[in-house]
Amino acid sequence: MPHITSQTSHQTVLTTFEATPGTCQDLLDLLEEAYRDYISKQPGFIAAGLHVNDAQTRIANYSQWRAREDFQAMLRSEEMRARNRRINELCKSFEPVMYDVVATFG
């Protein structure tokens, strides 16, 4: 479970996927499989969450990593590059963006 705080040196990555109602569940299945079988086992991985909008046209992924380099190493691995090619076939676009948490509430 992600713990969101500005008092950390962890790397936060938000990835958005543009899907269609016809491909959303298949895309979610691939993402869940990727996290269960590969991503969550990579060095530096802390936690992640998948979110889908009610129209099933967008998926948002929130992930936390020990360091930017850990996320980049996972993303550049042969395994993830192959998975991303399959993921890309099911969505119009996807974009991982690295962020720093600057404030939290609640």
pLDDT tens-digit map of 84-99: 999 999 999 999 999 9
pLDDT at position 1 is 65
The segments of the chain whose pLDDT lies below 70 read 1
> CATH classification of 11-99, choosing from 3.90.1150.10, 3.40.50.2300, 3.30.70.100, 3.40.640.10?
3.30.70.100
- C-beta neighbour count of 52 within 10 angstroms: 17
pLDDT at position 27 is 98
Per-residue tokens: 73: 């190493």
pLDDT at position 58 is 98
pTM of the model: 0.91
Per-residue tokens: 70: 């850990």
